[in-house]
Structure formats: structure tokens, C-alpha cells
Structure 1
Amino acid sequence: MASKIGIKIKSLSGPSKILEMTGTTGRNLEILRAVTEIPTQFRCIFKEFPYFNYAQSKALDDLLYTDRNFVICAPTGSGKTVMFELAITRLLMEVPMPWLNIKVVYMAPIKALCSQRFDDWKEKFGPIGLSCKELTGDTVVDDLFEIHHAHIIITTPEKWDSMTRRWKDNSIVQLVRLFLIDEVHVIKDESRGATLEVVVSRMKTVQSSLWRLSENHDVPPLRFVAVSATIPNAEDIAEWLSDGKMPAVCLKVDEDQRPVKLRKIVLGFPCSDSQTEFKFDLTLNYKIASVIQAYSDQKPVLVFCATRKGVQQAASVLSKDAKFLLSVEQKQRLQKSANSLKDSKLRDLLMYGLAYHHAGMEVSDRKIIEGAFTAGDLPVLSMGSLNREVAMKYSICCDVK
């Protein structure tokens, strides 16, 4: 018998409503919301499935029928991006076409995630008349013309920080109606958290300043939606994003709600007193091949490493320690991909069925590697730890630290 979802609503000293979803192991279609609830002209955005999942169904009313700020803490793979899309749909429902004076900003901490979201949303929102523009360190914008005519701006905290410092002279910033923050847990990062906090605080200041300067106080609200898989203090983020008039909602989804269950295995290896931490890290690279052989079940593998150098070292060691069976067709496709790569080391690794992926690579090389892995041609891909949210299917990951 399917177990029931437990929904807890807590009253804190602050204004936020806290929703917790716990203890769900069954699947009951009666509590899922259908995509047919979405207005007909926007259903193409959600065409890949007939029902929203449990977390999305719980968030739907607040996301689609209110303008409340929203914080979501949910496991990876639980459909947080769809919640962003519900918030965008809400904005489109409220603003009459042709949507000339609205901007949506999507902000993520890594360029690879921005690039993936740009490709995805360009395909989803293009048919209904929305244009997307990527604004990161990987993109070149000669002037503000392209950004001015884009409906959805996809950017990083650092890039948006530079865009908004002189916001009074920038009409683009004043047109932002929806601000989407992916990986909001970056706010606790020592090196990058301050930039994220400054950007969000500035956007709140822009909103309040525009309201004060308006004679009739008829400035449209700026809505924040923030998501994370790992933020420990989601309630605090919700309190921060609350504006007093419209308290933020905080949705916390238990790990049991994850659509694809994870099997976690922790392996320990001895470290002698004579070994430095650096040398011990290097020795772990030589353990990866046996771990893959034992647990991968002949399926694609992601190997996560703490540094860019570690990413490349892990792939290099694997090219000597492990042999992967590739079909003739796979070898041909990998050869074709290798011919297009600019990185000569990466080109050599690719013919072994191996590759690495991190934010410091050429954009074109990253896209080629992502395509090869997604197509199933790469048995093993070594990645930087910050790229964990890039949507690729895999069966096992080894964290080398």
C-alpha cells in the first residue's frame, strides 16, 4: 500500500511559510497535478510529462497562482528547474502580450550550467515568443542591444554584478520582474558568496527605490525564486527574501522524495604517517579504476574531483590503468569529436573512451564532451565538483579529494 505524503506547516517567528515533504515511498497519482492545469498556450513548456511530480505538485499553487517569493530545498533530480518554469509561466500569465517590458534573470554560479539552461530554454520558450540571451564570461556582447531585446537573461553572479552597479543608468535592470537563483547555497562560499549576496540585495534595493520614486507606487513587484539541493538553512534564505508585504514560502523536500534513488557507498583507504595530503590525493587516482570495475555495472561513470588539475590527473591515470570496450561505431563518433577539439590532451584521451570537463575549458570543447557523454559514447568522464548540477545521466560517481 502506498505511503502517504507528510506535509508539515511550521509557524516561525518570521513571516515565511515552511513546507516539509517527508516520508514518501509510494506513488499516488491522485495527489499529482496534471499539466492540463497549465493554460493551453504554455503547455508546450511542460510537454515532456503528463503530471508534475510530488514536489512540483506541492509548489504549484504558490508558484503559479501567487507572486510570493519562494525558496526550494530539494534533492538533485527532483525537478527544481520545472519550478523555475512554473514561475516564468506565472509571469507570462499576468503580463499581456507581446511581453515587451519584462525581463527574467536566471543566475547560476557556473558557466556550464548557464550554457545548459540557455540551450534548454531557448528550445522551450522560443516557440511561444520568448528570446533568451546568455551573459557569462564565455559570451561576447558588443553592446546592450541584444540584452535589451531578450526576455530571459541567463548569467552568473559576477557578470550580473558588473551589469547592475550603475543600475540607475540601466533600464534593463529596472525591467526585471522575476529573479531566479540556482544553487543558492553558493551564498555560504567564502570566495563567491559575497557577490551573490550583494547582487540579490542590490536587486531588492532597486525594487524599493523604484517604488519610492513612483508617484502612484504602481511599480510591478520583483519576485525571487531560489533553489538548492544542499542549503542547510533554507528558512533563513526565505526570511531574507521576504519583503514584509508578501512573505516568502520555503519548500523543503526530504531525500525520500528523490525520483531516482541513490545508492551511496563509502570506501576508505589507509594513509600512512609519511604521506602528505597532496601525495595521498594522488594515490587515490590509482584506486578509481578498481572502483569503476566493481560498481559501474558497465554503465557510464562520472568521476568528481576537487580541482581542475585533479580532474585532468584522474583522467590521465585512468587512460593507463583502465581499458574500456568501445564498439566500432563509438570509436568512429569519438574520432569525429576528437578532430573538433582544441585541447590536444583531451583529444588523445577521447580515443581511450575518457575525457575531462571543467569550467576552465574552451566552451566549444565542453559542448563536444557533454554531447559525447550524453550520447553514451564516453564510458568515463572526470568532472570538477562544481559541475555536479550539469544534467547528465550516470550510474556512479567517485569523489576524489
Structure 2
Amino acid sequence: MNNVDVVVIGLGVTGVPMALAAADAGMAVVGVDADPARVRELGARLSARRVRVRLAGAAAPAARAHLLCVPTPPGGDDGADLAPLARAARAVGRGLRRGGLVVVQSTCPPGTVEGPVARGLADASGLTPGVDFHLAHAPDRIDPGNQSVPATRIPRVVGGLTPRCTRVAAEFLCQLVERVVPVSTCRTAEFVKTFENTFRLVNISLVNELADLCRSCDVEVAEVLDAAATKPFGFLPHRPGIGAGGVCIPVVPGFLSAWARRRGVRTEVVDAALAVNAVMPGRVVARLRGALNSRGIPLRNGRILVIGVSYKPDVAEARQSAAVRVLVSLRTEATVCYHDPFVPELRLPDGAVLRSVPLSDVAGVDVAVVLTRHTQVAPLVRSLPVPVLDIADGEANWVTGTCGPHVPPSRSCRRSLRRSRGGRPSSRPPQRRRVTSTRRGTLRGEEGH
């Protein structure tokens, strides 16, 4: 592949927008991914936008600029598993030209770009970072599911290994996005991203604790937050939920905490926010249990349909999802199936694989529990022939409460329930029950997660 301007390593939710932006700017772009299924899925769609797609190999194609957009999942000494990023750096290094530019977009603990990434590139290329080629960090900023702000309109922070690296990287990014914000070093850019995500987690955990406090003394947390939001300065509204999810907000603060701990620095606020988020699924299950008991629906040995397992509405992403953690907890006591049009298949930590069941095929479950409010699903919930409990905002609110006569599970639902428990569905006798609806039944859009 000759005369390639840009190679994007990693064609996920952050890599694809950058590849398309480069192609729209008239650059010759190659997108590389290690997942054969992903390459097949994107091949035709991206080729129509002038992006060539190929499977990752030992060496990345040579180009004037390389963008590293690979995942950095939790794990490792600094809280992040940097193995995918290290592999990408070595692959880029093998095809790196003198005078080239490498921009790391992956979220990293502080010191990653100037440390292991720079060393990997140098070892593979035989070139000196900051002298023979330019190296910079421009962490991704993206809000999955939010179509109102294109990726090209989100300001991009960039910091280089040297001032010249910063300048070259900024000039390159200015061709792709509307605004670039240069900072002094790679490490500064890393701190920007880790702090942004930590700020979000701290506020989400704080508002979830506020909701618990309000609940304990019969105060409406929504009323408190709405009134507080009238303050025209010094307040940023957040809304409670079942916990922060996704690959950034609940994960990246752990990068910062682990990095600080290795250096003898205490991060009490960050650690407290992580701890609150870690216990949220248990708190949600406890509230769910209380709501079910109040209507005579036992959780233990019950049959539950979970509606929505992605980490936020209208996105096809269930990694680190609080809804999945709640589902996993429910499975220790009940038989659970789920419906989510964005997540057709769900692999659980214990290796079990569940498949989404259609809402038209939920006969035989005792109750449906809304954990994530997808826009296209919300209007259908009220018509379900089973009681529906909405707990997506952390409050247990009955959306519908009247259940008709017990109906044996349909074949596909029965298969899903059997897979969920690893055996046969419960043989307990069917029960008739009638549940009245309560004051809050309207589905509201989720905010702040």
C-alpha cells in the first residue's frame, strides 16, 4: 500500500470516526483491526467512504501518520492492561518512517506514552522518539449514543513528547476536527483525560449517595436536584442511576488511583467514588427485592425478564455495564432472561451466554425489570402482559402492575430461561397475582451516564 497518509489502528467507536474524518479531509486512509469479524463488518461500509480496511498483522502499513485507537481495559500495575497498546506500538514501529507522526488516542495512565509506548516504537523502528519521528497523545473524547455533536466538533487536547511533536500533531489534527487544544506534554494530556473521567465518576457516585440519603428520609431526590440546578453558578447537574458503566467512566479513575498508589500518593475521593460504584448493583438488587416483596413477588426462584443491558440508552455496548452486574447478581437467586435490541448476545463473566428474547415472547416470567431505558423500547413496555418495574434511575417504580392469568413460558423464552440457570426452569406451581400501579409510571430519558 503506497502513498498512505493515515493508518488508524483499532476500528472501534473512537477509531472509525477519525478514519472517516481523515478520508473526508482528502487523505488516503487505511483502517486496521485485529478482529476478523470487525474487519468483515466494516469493510464494505468504510470502503464506500474511501477507507481501506485490513486485518492487523505483524507490521502496520507505512504512512505519514499513525493513530493508535486500541482499547486499554482494566488490569495491570497502573490499573490498565496496556498489552493491546504495546502490540500496536510494535506493529507501527516496524513500518515507521523517519519524520513520521504517531498519535496515541487510547486512554492511558499518566506516563504511558512517554514510557512504554515510546520504548516500543523505538525498539521496533530503531528510531529515536522526538528526534527521528514525532509522538503525541490526543485522548479520545466521545459520547456514544449522542448524535447531536459530531466527533469532529469536539475539541481535541493534544500534548507531544517535545514542543515540535505537539506542533506537528496539532497541525495534523486541525485537518480533522474544528478545534485543537495544545498542552505542554504527553503526560499533561494523559492527566486531562483521566481527570475528565474521574470527575464524572465522582459526581455520579455522589448523586447516587444523595439518592440513598433522600430515600432514607422520604425526600424526592429529583426535587432536590431540580431546585439545586437553578443555581446559576458552581453546580453541574447529575442524575442518579444504577451505577456508572462503559469502558471509560468506571475504569479510568482506577488508572489514576493505581498510578498514584504506586507513587505513595493518596486519592481518597477517587477511591471512595470507585467504592460507591462497585456496591451499586447490590444496592439496586436490595431495592428491587423490597419492591417485589411489597407486591408479593418473590425474588428467590423467580423468573425475571431484564429489559436493557447496555451501559446507557441506545448504544450497543455492554462492557462494564451496571445493568449486566445487576443481572449477574439476580441470577444467583432467580431465573433471568433479557431483552435488548442493541445487545443481541451477552457473554457473562462465568462464561454463560444469553441471547436477547423478543418482548412478544415473554409469557411465563413473573416480572420485567427495566435497567436501561432504550428509546425504541420505552413505548412497548406498558403493553407487556406482566408487571413491569422500572429501576433505571435507581428508584423502584412500577410502570405496569396488573398481571393476567399465569401463562406457561413459550419455547424460546423457556430455552433462554434454561440457559440462564444452567438447567430446567423452576417447577413451582403457577400463581395468580394482581398488582396495582403506583404514582410514577412514566418512562423518562436517562441523564448523566
TM-score where L is the length of structure 2: 0.32
Between 1 and 2, higher relative CO (CA 8 Å, sep ≥ 6) is seen in 1
**Larger Cα Rg: Structure 1 or Structure 2?**
2
TM-score where L is the length of structure 1: 0.35
Which of the pair is proportionally richer in helix? 1
